[in-house]
Amino acid sequence: MKTIEEINQKIKSGKVVVVTAEEILSIVKEKGIKKTLEEVDVVTTGTFSPMCSSGVLLNFSQPKPKIKAGAVYLNNVPAYSGLAAADIYLGASALPEEDPRNKVYPGAFKYGGGHIIEDLVSGKDIKLSVFAYGTHCYPRKEYSCLINLKNLNDAILLNPRNSYQNYNVAVNLSDKVIYTYMGVLLPKLGSAHYATAGMLSPLMNDPYYKTIGIGTRVFLGGGIGYIIWHGTQHTPNSPRTERGIPKGPAGTLALIGDLKQMSSHFLRGVSLRGYGVSLAVGIGIPIPLLNEEILSYTLVANKDIIMPVVDYSEAYPNGKDEILAEVSYEELKSGSTKILGKRVPTCTFSSYARAREIANTLKEWIRQGRFTLTQPAITIDRLNNES
Amino acid sequence: MKVKRKYLLIFPEQTVDRPITYHLIHDYDLMINILKASVTPGKEGRLVIEVQGEKGALESAKNYLSGIGVRIKPVIEGIHWLRERCVHCTACVPGCPSQCFVVDRKTMRVSFEKERCIVCKHCLSACAYGAIEILENYAD
């Protein structure tokens, strides 16, 4: 048994031992569970993938005279303004009104909310246009200016659903190419598109959310963030394997963090052909090795992760719960897998290389004492039981 | 035999006011798609067109253009992989008919073998991260 306080003491004295979710396997293989638990304090995880349920909360400086924002655009992309006068929220999948969408099929979706977030975090100027009806206290009706990360009062990344625990593998059984958020799916089972960072994924290493909770400090977009709730569409009671790994999409997280600390290396606007725009987000969560049970969960390997194969030409759009096959993350990562007797090439929009980079970066932060662990106000498993 | 080609046409000053596209369509039965045009009065004009039609008619049209002083340069397209934009996700891999994108399965990093590329442009739609660009060069 170890406590988060004890681990933080070790971080402060420079004696902490941190390894990544990949490295822990060989250590346990060599030293066994008991010895490893004595020696290793923290396992770091990482993931990098498009996560559409992301966005930024911005507060701009009031002009003179003042304005109460009505219709708001950032580089012509509409933002939500149904908040106080100078608070606006820009969603990652917002599109400029003049974007032709899928009128010229398949749409290219070159620029939208996700790209603005990437531009902001890179320090670029963004054109803010505000329209209002005017009041006694906020008389101005039109305002436009250039905003950037430095002159915004607040720029907060606020993501309602990130870090999916497991996900579908998308295939196309029809005889035409289809354009989806999982990629350009080749016809007649021509390609299989998966997601997540497998054994590096944060929620795969704490599958029952026993250490992760509200207030957990995390790596978010290259800066520091916090878990604020479970994410939307969080379904912890999905079917699981014997070792507790969900067999399909299950847990999710809602995250928050200061955009001003983040980096465009870990926050990237994406253009999904024929679908829309989004934001790829880099997330890393430290798992404190509090006891044998927690350590044993972090020993998940890519071969233990089973993902459901779903037909995105028919079953998915029509909401049919049909699973064509189950394949392991290990196979998907190898470049091809067997589905319905056919050898199918595989690919993903998630970057395993960048997920690994995140797990290693977080490991270094903790080793250098730049990042300490937090005791969550309530873990997600308890939150699930409360509601 | 029908063919489809892309050309850059350079007009000397004295031909800028002639309705050349009209002649290409009317006299040679070619389908013309104007991709780029810049015509400055008193200077040379530049036009990038995609032409589709019978091979023989296309050759005659080129003779007509040369005859009136228009220079013709074939457009060579090339796929350019922007290493610094690539996040090594692998989305470009399965659809590429010539296996240009090679994944090191240990590091899970992608590299681009340019010499294999046949410019089918699949990767241009598969890549979500803006790491693929089409570059156009003009042969002399």
Of the two residues B6 and A266, the one the predictor is more confident about is A266
Cα–Cα distances in angstroms (integers) from residue A165 to residues A47, A247, B106, in the given order: 10, 10, 23
CA-CA distance, A76 to A119, in Å (whole number)?
14
Fold (topology level) of B78-135 = Alpha-Beta Plaits (3.30.70)
DSSP A231: P
SS3 content of chain B, % helix, strand, coil (to 5): 25, 40, 35
CA-CA distance, A345 to A21, in Å (whole number)?
26
B20 interfaces chain A, CB cutoff of 8 Å: no
Window 99-138 of B, Cβ < 8 Å to A: 103, 105, 107-109, 122, 125-126, 128-130
Token duo for residue A220: 């978010």
Cα–Cα distances in angstroms (integers) from residue A142 to residues A132, A260, B14, B72, in the given order: 6, 27, 50, 51
CA-CA distance, A214 to B90, in Å (whole number)?
34
- Look at the block and give the residue holding tokens 């699930």: A384
Question: Above 60 in pLDDT, residue B140?
Answer: no
Nearest to A40 by CA among A214, A357, A296: A296
Q: Does residue A52 carry a catalytic annotation?
A: no
Cα–Cα distances in angstroms (integers) from residue B86 to residues A51, A317, A359, B95, in the given order: 17, 30, 19, 17
CA-CA distance, B93 to A186, in Å (whole number)?
12
Q: Give domain limits for chain B.
A: 2-69, 78-135
Size of interface A-B (CB pairs under 8 A): 72
CA-CA distance, A18 to A12, in Å (whole number)?
13
Interface test with chain B among A182, A273, A334, by most B beta carbons within 10 Å? A273
| Interchain CB distance below 8 Å, A190 and B125 | no
Helices (H), B31-113: 55-67
* DSSP result, A248-315: SS---EEEEEEGGG--TTSEEEEEETTTEEEEEEEEE-EEE--SHHHHHHTT--GGG-EEEEEETTTT
CA-CA distance, B121 to B79, in Å (whole number)?
8
Task: Let me know if the fold of B2-69 is the same as that of B78-135.
Answer: yes
Q: Phi/psi at B47 (nearest 5 deg)?
A: -140, 125
Give me the count of residues in chain A: 387
- CA of B35, closest CA in chain A: separation in Å? 16
pLDDT tens per residue across span B118-132: 889 999 999 999 999
pLDDT category, B139, cuts 50, 70, 90? low
pLDDT tens per residue across span B51-110: 999 999 999 999 999 999 999 999 888 999 999 999 999 999 999 999 999 999 999 999
| Interchain CB distance below 8 Å, B91 and A272 | no
- For A105, counting Cβ atoms within 10 Å of its Cβ (0-12 exposed, 13-18 middle, 19+ buried), the class is exposed
**Domain at B2-69: CATH architecture:** 2-Layer Sandwich (3.30)
Contact (Cβ atoms closer than 8 angstroms) between residue B117 and residue B98 = yes
Token duo for residue A7: 């681990």
Residues of B in contact with A106 (CB under 8 A): 125
> Running along chain A, 387 residues long, what does each successive block of 10 average in pLDDT?
96 98 98 98 98 98 98 98 98 97 96 98 98 98 98 98 98 98 98 98 98 98 98 96 95 98 98 98 98 98 98 98 98 98 98 98 98 98 87
Task: List all residues 6 or more positions away from B53 whose beta carbon is below 8 Å from its beta carbon.
Answer: B2, B3, B28, B29, B30, B31, B61
What is the ipTM metric for this complex?
A: 0.96
Q: Phi/psi at A10 (nearest 5 deg)?
A: -65, -35
Contact (Cβ atoms closer than 8 angstroms) between residue A146 and residue A75 = no
Task: List all residues 6 or more positions away from A231 whose beta carbon is below 8 Å from its beta carbon.
Answer: A53, A159, A160, A161, A162, A163, A251, A252, A253, A254
Q: Report the SS3 class of residue A128.
A: strand
CA-CA distance, A221 to A210, in Å (whole number)?
24
Query: Given this model, what pLDDT does residue A257 score?
Result: 98
Query: Given this model, what pLDDT does residue B36 score?
Result: 84
Residue of chain A nearest B88, judged by CA positions: A351
| Interchain CB distance below 8 Å, A353 and B128 | no
- CA of A272, closest CA in chain B: separation in Å? 5
Among left, alpha and beta (phi > 0; psi -120 to 50; other), residue A14 is left
